[in-house]
Amino acid sequence: MKTFIYLLLLFSVADIYANENNPLTQCRNIQNDNDRLACYDKIPLTTVATNLPEKSADKKTNQPISASDKFGLKQPVEEQLESIFAKVTKLKKVGYGSFIIHMDNEQIWRQIDSARFRLKVGDEVEIKSASLGSFLLKKAGSNKTIRVKRLQ
């Protein structure tokens, strides 16, 4: 225990001595504003950079963060579109009344439910984000929607 106290005392004195020899600390102790500014101007930038203590790199920052490490933390929210508007350029019927819908923005969507829905080439549609990562397609001027999935 005594050895620990002596080591602690030794390191604290060394730290105080190192801070007193630092040119920034010497300039900080000058009371006159003009003299203090002149002192700071005389310090070369390389001296400041070499005298600053280096921060040790965290071992965890080099490793990928697993999902369990992020659990419960607030995730950064990326700005996402709520909906897009497009015009239908091509329709292809695929079994039981479902469609593959080509849009003018070169996106391709597939109807994943079997609800009846009248859609023609040239119709203006809105695709909105729905719950649990799904999407709803709605024809302009209509309240009926179908569930769709993006293919391309």
Kindly report the CATH number assigned to the domain that includes residue 103.
Answer: 2.40.50
In a domain, 71, yes or no: no
Instruction: Clarify whether residues 88 and 146 are in a common domain.
Output: yes
Give me the residue label for tokens 């809105």. Answer: 126
Can you give the pLDDT at residue 137? Answer: 92
1-16 pLDDT, tens per residue? 777 777 766 666 555 5
- Asked if pLDDT for residue 50 goes beyond 70, the answer is no
For the chain, how many structural domains are there in total?
A: 2
**Domain interval for residue 8:** 2-53
Instruction: Clarify whether residues 48 and 100 are in a common domain.
Output: no
> How far, CA to CA in Å, does 16 sit from each of 27, 56, 111, 121, 122?
16, 21, 72, 79, 78
HSE, CB side, 13 Å, CA atoms: give it for residue 150.
Answer: 12
How much is the pTM? 0.49
Instruction: Clarify whether residues 139 and 87 are in a common domain.
Output: yes
| Alpha helices, H only, 21-140 | 23-28, 33-42, 45-51, 59-62, 67-70
Q: What percent of the chain has pLDDT over 90?
A: 23
Whether 145 contacts 105, CB under 8 Å: no
